[in-house]
Amino acid sequence: MPDAQPAHKRILLKLSGEALMGDDAFGINRSTIVRMVQEVAEVVHMGVQVAVVIGGGNIFRGVAGGAVGMDRATADYMGMLATVMNALALADAMNKQGLIARVMSAIAIEQVVEPYVRPKALQYLEEGKVVIFAAGTGNPFFTTDTAAALRGAEIGAELVLKATKVDGVYSADPKKDPSATRYNQLSFDQAMNQNLGIMDATAFALCRDQKLPIKVFSIFKNGALKRVVMGEDEGTLVYA
């Protein structure tokens, strides 16, 4: 029998910086990032085009104390630089695993990474390269969730994957309420009415307006990413 084909051909994976920490207080846990890259490599080898937006909280957390009282825009630009550091680490791990990764930054640091140019990003994806979008949207006051929604819409992603430590969206905090149940799927309106906080309001509204579905799943479950792209029952789907 022929191998099953992926249900999704182009995805945007949103990784928080905290996902790279493993059990560390801040920074990058090498074994954690290598395991994540192996998950990504598995779906890339199936022919899925993968773009990634990554946060910077794991690195910024280490300097957060000094940012108290800082101008918000300045702090946000520092956070953008943290995402560039994470993107470089992720690309390095991917290249060592046999993938070809390209980092594209929303702010100009051309000696380090290339600037974000949409046609070039699409070309890379069609060539089978992994594109890592760094520096958020390039603007303060916008989160990397919003960057994920924006870049997902720009590249024509079929699905935005919100990778978390929890295997979906629950009716309550499963750590505090053992009776909490996981939703298999939710409409955008249901998620907003229940104030589930899946993404920040700007990102969520952009996905809803563009009819870009979101899948919330655990990046720490072995094989979860593959099950998501195959269309299996993994995580929670939020749809228009």
Same domain, 110 and 33: yes
Whether 17 has a binding-site annotation, put simply, is yes
Same domain, 105 and 51: yes
Whether 15 has a binding-site annotation, put simply, is yes
Query: Across residues 170-195, what is the average pLDDT?
Result: 90
User: Which residues constitute the domain of residue 55?
Assistant: 1-164
- Of the candidates 94, 100, 93, 41, the one whose C-alpha atom is nearest the C-alpha of residue 229 is 41
d(CA 45, CA 118): 23
Whether 14 has a binding-site annotation, put simply, is yes
Same domain, 131 and 170: no
Whether 74 has a binding-site annotation, put simply, is no
Do 59 and 35 form a contact (C-beta atoms < 8 A)? Answer: no
26: CATH = 3.40.1160.10
In 3-state terms the chain splits into helix, strand, coil percentages (rounded to 5) of 40, 20, 40
Residue 136 lies in a domain: yes
Of 24-28, 64-68, 211-215, 217-221, least confident by mean pLDDT is 64-68
Same domain, 133 and 177: no
Q: In this model, does residue 229 exceed pLDDT 60?
A: yes
- Integer angstrom CA distances of residue 160 from 1, 59, 139, 165, 213: 30, 24, 21, 16, 6
pLDDT digits (tens, 9 = 90+) for 199-209: 999 999 999 99
Same domain, 175 and 154: no
pLDDT digits (tens, 9 = 90+) for 80-119: 999 999 999 999 999 999 999 999 999 999 999 999 999 9
What pLDDT, on a 0 to 100 scale, did the predictor assign at position 43? 97
Do 180 and 172 form a contact (C-beta atoms < 8 A)? Answer: yes
Name the pLDDT band for 68 (thresholds 50, 70, 90). low
d(CA 54, CA 41): 17
What pLDDT, on a 0 to 100 scale, did the predictor assign at position 1? 42
Name the pLDDT band for 66 (thresholds 50, 70, 90). low
List the structure tokens of 40: 């990504």
What pLDDT, on a 0 to 100 scale, did the predictor assign at position 171? 87
Q: What are phi and psi of 99, to 5 degrees?
A: -85, 165
Q: Which residue has the higher pLDDT, 215 or 24?
A: 215
Q: Which residue has the higher pLDDT, 10 or 27?
A: 10
Q: Which residue has the higher pLDDT, 1 or 217?
A: 217
Whether 182 has a binding-site annotation, put simply, is no
* Percent of all residues in the chain with a pLDDT value above 90, rounded to a whole number: 75
Whether 170 has a binding-site annotation, put simply, is yes
- Beta strand 214-218 with 236-239: parallel, antiparallel or unpaired? antiparallel
Whether 239 has a binding-site annotation, put simply, is no
Whether 217 has a binding-site annotation, put simply, is no
Whether 161 has a binding-site annotation, put simply, is no
What pLDDT, on a 0 to 100 scale, did the predictor assign at position 4? 79
Q: Which residue has the higher pLDDT, 195 or 144?
A: 144
Q: Which residue has the higher pLDDT, 177 or 137?
A: 137
Name the pLDDT band for 18 (thresholds 50, 70, 90). confident
Whether 187 has a binding-site annotation, put simply, is no
Do 51 and 130 form a contact (C-beta atoms < 8 A)? Answer: yes
Same domain, 115 and 171: no
CB-based burial of residue 45 (10 Å sphere; 0-12 exposed, 13-18 middle, 19+ buried)?
exposed
Sequence-distant (≥ 6) Cβ neighbours of residue 56 within 8 angstroms: 17, 79, 80, 81, 82, 83, 84, 85, 86, 144
Whether 83 has a binding-site annotation, put simply, is no
Whether 69 has a binding-site annotation, put simply, is no
d(CA 178, CA 39): 29
- The total number of structural domains in the chain stands at 2
Same domain, 189 and 80: no
Name the pLDDT band for 24 (thresholds 50, 70, 90). confident
Q: In this model, does residue 151 exceed pLDDT 90?
A: yes
Residue 141 lies in a domain: yes
Query: Across residues 120-135, what is the average pLDDT?
Result: 98
Whether 118 has a binding-site annotation, put simply, is no
Same domain, 127 and 145: yes
Do 89 and 119 form a contact (C-beta atoms < 8 A)? Answer: no
Whether 32 has a binding-site annotation, put simply, is no
Model-level pTM greater than 0.85?
yes
d(CA 216, CA 154): 20
Whether 76 has a binding-site annotation, put simply, is yes
Residue 113 lies in a domain: yes
